[in-house]
């Protein structure tokens, strides 16, 4: 019996079908053919489309099965992926019977080794550690770190668990490293944060797409098909200091590639906006009717003329002007004006422009440009940000953020506290106040006044957090660390107690994709006997801690409670339930009871009280590291096609690990020659925070003043040992994209 579900990885949430493997189908025969066609950025989705072509709602396509899992993966027709899957999606079932799977609670002994224990003993120990920490250090001595990979049900329950069972304000999650700057900018400008306020299919008709800081060809390959219209019109404009796989799509007349100096994206955006204003390209009627703050913004842009922007960013002034005119040409269609056969204009941002100490302001600069062109809330154009993690959208809506209650409510809002407290059956005063953002909490671990007992769910902070050496030191200072995971991640390896939990194909729940569409995750197989649902774990701990309310173990019951708690909030799910979602209905939030949801936001007004979007003047911040000092290079970090996040899952898939087995440093040939580095040399990359080693990959696809490292690898290959813990004052986002480093040869290739 086939199970219709969605991929466990990114926020595209590609639709797939899991079924008992057909006889003779395995990764060794079907997968090899699939991998051949995945070498290029467009072809990466080709084999998926070939294998799964024509798979309709009730029809199982021939799929690929990982050896021994008994499950075949088939792409399923759905608007975001149209049957396509990337390498990660095709190989996702390989993890379901991994020999590294955790199947019993593990307790660290005095000698540092782990031994299996029973569930009652494990939960009693965890509850005892909570009581001990709070008796000695106060309520906020206990912390919770969640994940944008958790289902909506688990993310919601985790926020409730922290505040009512643990009675702590100290909860945040790894989405702080991913979407916080974009979310802060969206809330500030529009009064609401939904990554894409329109369906992804809207991009199909675009004539111009400005894509900043996102390498979708590697991070979510099926997304690329939605760029075809813009590429055919010569209107794909990619901003990236590397000639990434996505930037390569803009070649051969398909568009433009702008390669600014790392950390100067805001200046580039302000330069483009300057041209829009000075050369009469702005939609003045839209600005007058639908925005506030124009005069202050106009004054702030006066100083960013193209020649000056060229000096700062390295992007030629002529390209800045050309970009402005291309964007404005498509924007005329967006506002209903005549245009010569080209589609509308969309501006999309990703982590490359947001993971900075001024990331919220950089995203705001992109929104300002979109508003000047009249794009948000129009029929044929718009602004959006590309959510990364599988439930990065839903995960930031229902209470696992430090300052948040379900429905994207503010925890400081008395009306919000009263509403949610009533749903939970407690008094508003029983709810703690706001906590602190992720980096601040992690830097407090084991310190006076900080967290002394930490619960980690679905995150691998030992690899993914900035200044990872300091984070690991903090984990080791804790009195007690509890990690819930299905593999022994690098964070779990530091734990006092490891709790084995369910994988994606073993649980029921919901996810909210990058469009704000709520989707059903369905169980296809039974979990190992020793693994437990996180809903069950929270319920059992809450009972032991004498929580003042009920914690259900049933996902549908939890979702129904989430819907009630979200009612009337910005992210209103009150009209949603499993029967509706199981029917296949399009469910875009806000979806108040009695409605049919909101496919496109802002068509009539924005979410501020006066209905107007805010134009906000911004200015670049001083980088955390002093950049461009003699002998130093600027490090940018990012993802690879084959891996996902900290690599806890993908490094355990043989096919993916074989393709990208370890850390490789991208470096320009001119820079490599100057440093005596040749392709294949083992090199050392370091700064005052740490040192890592990798293999040199010499390529012209990167600026001479810049080097690139992926962040998927642990230990001495962990790129985040080099990134600073400095954060954006608005969003709490760490500075992942500009670190100053030195690079030197450790061992020549021939000596390896």
> Which segments in the chain show pLDDT lower than 70?
22-69, 333-342, 752
Instruction: Please check whether residue 262 is in contact with residue 241, taking contact to mean a CB–CB distance below 8 angstroms.
Output: yes
How far out from the chain centre does Cα 669 lie? Answer: 32
Instruction: Please check whether residue 353 is in contact with residue 359, taking contact to mean a CB–CB distance below 8 angstroms.
Output: yes
Q: What is the pLDDT of residue 69?
A: 58
Tell me the residue length of the chain: 752
Interhelix angle 294-301/265-278, nearest 10 degrees: 110
Q: What is the pLDDT of residue 27?
A: 35
Task: Calculate the CA dihedral of residues 286, 290, 293, 298 and round it to 10 degrees.
Answer: -10
d(CA 259, CA 372): 23
Query: Options 2.90.10.10, 2.40.40.20, 2.20.25.90, 2.40.10.120; which CATH number does 633-751 get?
Result: 2.40.40.20
The torsion angles phi and psi of 635, rounded to 5 degrees, stand at: -90, 130
Q: What is the pLDDT of residue 330?
A: 82
Q: Which residue has the tokens 């066609």?
A: 37
Q: What is the pLDDT of residue 31?
A: 35
Token duo for residue 77: 């027709």
> DSSP for 56-112?
-TT-PPP-EE-TTT-EEEEE---TTTTT---HHHHTGGGGTT-TT---S-EEE-TTS
Domain 106-173+391-508+525-552 has CATH 3.30.43.10: no
Token duo for residue 658: 């074989």
Q: What is the pLDDT of residue 575?
A: 98
Token duo for residue 749: 């290739």
The torsion angles phi and psi of 591, rounded to 5 degrees, stand at: -130, 70
d(CA 223, CA 80): 7
Neighbours of 2 (CB within 10 A): 18
Burial class (CB in 10 A: 0-12, 13-18, 19+), 611: middle
- List, in sequence order, every residue forming a beta bridge with 208; answer none if it has no partner: 345
d(CA 63, CA 25): 8
Q: What is the pLDDT of residue 64?
A: 53
d(CA 725, CA 65): 41
Query: Options 3.30.70.1350, 1.25.10.10, 3.40.640.10, 3.40.228.10; which CATH number does 180-385 get?
Result: 3.40.228.10
Number of helical H runs and strand E runs in the chain: 25, 28
Token duo for residue 88: 């990660």
Domain spans in the chain, listed from the N-terminal domain onward: 3-95, 106-173+391-508+525-552, 180-385, 633-751
Residue 742 Cα distances to 174, 269, 481, angstroms: 28, 29, 34
Residue 713 Cα distances to 83, 295, 489, 665, 693, angstroms: 30, 47, 11, 12, 11
> Using alpha carbons only, what angle is made at residue 356 by residues 352 and 360, rounded to the nearest 5 degrees?
95
From start to end of 247-342, where are the E strands? 255-258, 291-292
Name the pTM for this structure: 0.93
Q: What is the pLDDT of residue 107?
A: 98
Q: Which residue intervals of 143-283 are DSSP H helices? A: 152-160, 180-190, 216-219, 228-232, 245-248, 265-278
Nearest in space to 332 (alpha carbons), one of 297, 292, 291, 379: 379
End-to-end CA gap in the chain: 50
Q: What is the pLDDT of residue 46?
A: 31
Instruction: Please check whether residue 739 is in contact with residue 356, taking contact to mean a CB–CB distance below 8 angstroms.
Output: no
Token duo for residue 27: 């990764």
> Using alpha carbons only, what angle is made at residue 181 by residues 180 and 185, rounded to the nearest 5 degrees?
115
d(CA 578, CA 641): 33
């Amino acid at each position: 019996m086939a199970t219709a579900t969605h991929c466990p990885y990114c926020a595209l949430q590609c639709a797939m079908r899991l079924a008992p493997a057909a006889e003779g189908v395995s990764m060794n025969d079907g997968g090899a053919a699939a991998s051949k066609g995945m070498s290029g950025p467009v072809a990466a989705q080709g084999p998926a489309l070939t294998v799964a072509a024509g798979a309709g709602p009730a029809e199982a396509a021939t799929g690929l099965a990982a050896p021994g899992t008994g499950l075949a993966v088939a792409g399923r027709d759905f608007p975001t992926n149209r049957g396509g899957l990337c390498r990660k999606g095709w190989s996702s079932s390989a993890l379901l019977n991994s020999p590294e799977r955790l199947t019993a609670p593990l307790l660290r002994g005095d000698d540092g080794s782990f031994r299996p224990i029973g569930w009652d003993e494990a939960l009693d120990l965890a509850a005892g550690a909570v009581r001990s920490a709070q008796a000695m250090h106060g309520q906020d001595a206990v912390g919770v770190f969640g994940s944008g990979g958790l289902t909506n049900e688990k993310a919601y329950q985790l926020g409730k668990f922290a505040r009512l069972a643990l009675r702590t304000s100290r909860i945040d999650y790894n989405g702080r490293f991913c979407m916080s700057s974009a979310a802060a900018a969206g809330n500030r400008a529009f009064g609401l944060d939904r990554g894409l306020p329109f369906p992804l299919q809207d991009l199909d008709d675009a004539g111009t797409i400005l894509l900043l800081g996102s390498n979708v060809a590697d991070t979510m390959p099926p997304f690329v098909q939605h760029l075809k219209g813009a590429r055919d019109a010569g209107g794909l404009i990619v901003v990236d200091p590397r000639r990434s796989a996505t930037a390569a799509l803009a070649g051969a007349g398909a568009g433009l590639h702008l390669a600014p100096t790392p950390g100067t994206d805001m200046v580039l955006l302000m330069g483009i906006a300057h041209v829009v204003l000075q050369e009469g390209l702005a939609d003045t009627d839209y600005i007058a009717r639908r925005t506030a703050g124009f005069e202050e913004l106009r004054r702030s842009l006066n100083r960013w003329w193209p020649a000056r922007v060229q000096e700062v960013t390295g992007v030629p002034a002529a390209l800045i002007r050309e970009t402005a005119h291309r964007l404005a040409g498509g924007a005329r269609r967006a506002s209903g004006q005549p245009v010569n056969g080209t589609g509308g204009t969309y501006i999309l941002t990703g982590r490359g422009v947001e993971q900075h100490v001024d990331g919220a302001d950089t995203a705001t600069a992109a929104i300002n440009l979109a508003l000047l062109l009249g794009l948000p809330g129009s029929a044929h154009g718009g602004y959006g940000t590309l959510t990364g993690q599988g439930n990065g959208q839903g995960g930031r809506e229902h209470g696992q953020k430090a300052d948040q209650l379900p429905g994207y409510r503010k925890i400081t809002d008395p009306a919000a506290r009263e509403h949610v407290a009533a749903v939970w059956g407690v008094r508003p005063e029983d709810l703690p106040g706001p906590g602190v953002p992720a980096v601040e909490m992690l830097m407090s671990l084991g310190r006076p006044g900080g967290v002394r007992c930490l619960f980690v769910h679905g995150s691998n902070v030992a690899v993914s957090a900035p200044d990872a050496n300091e984070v690991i030191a903090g984990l080791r200072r804790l009195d007690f660390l509890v990690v819930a995971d299905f593999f022994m991640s690098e964070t779990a390896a530091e734990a006092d107690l490891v709790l084995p939990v369910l994988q994606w194909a073993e649980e029921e729940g919901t996810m909210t994709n990058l469009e704000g569409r709520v989707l059903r995750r369905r169980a296809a197989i039974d979990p190992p006997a020793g693994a437990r649902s996180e809903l069950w774990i929270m319920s059992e701990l809450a009972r032991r801690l004498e929580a003042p309310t009920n914690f259900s173990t049933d996902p549908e019951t939890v979702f129904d409670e989430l819907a009630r708690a979200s009612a009337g909030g910005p992210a209103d799910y009150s009209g949603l339930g499993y029967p509706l979602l199981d029917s296949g209905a399009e469910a875009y939030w806000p979806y108040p009871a009695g409605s049919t949801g909101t496919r496109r936001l802002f068509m009539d007004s924005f979410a501020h009280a006066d209905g107007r979007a805010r134009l906000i003047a911004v200015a670049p911040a001083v980088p955390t590291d002093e950049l461009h000092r003699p002998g130093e290079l600027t490090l940018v970090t990012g993802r690879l096609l084959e891996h996902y996040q900290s690599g806890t899952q993908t490094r355990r898939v043989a096919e993916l690990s074989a393709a990208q087995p370890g850390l490789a440093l991208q470096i320009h040939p001119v820079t490599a020659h100057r440093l005596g580095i040749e392709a294949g040399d083992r090199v050392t990359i370091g700064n005052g925070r740490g040192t890592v080693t990798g293999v040199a990959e010499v390529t012209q696809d990167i600026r001479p003043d810049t080097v690139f490292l992926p962040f998927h690898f642990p230990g001495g290959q962990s790129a985040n040992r080099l990134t600073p813990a400095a954060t954006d004052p608005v969003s709490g986002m760490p500075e992942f994209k500009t670190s100053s480093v030195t690079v030197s040869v450790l061992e020549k290739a021939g000596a390896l």
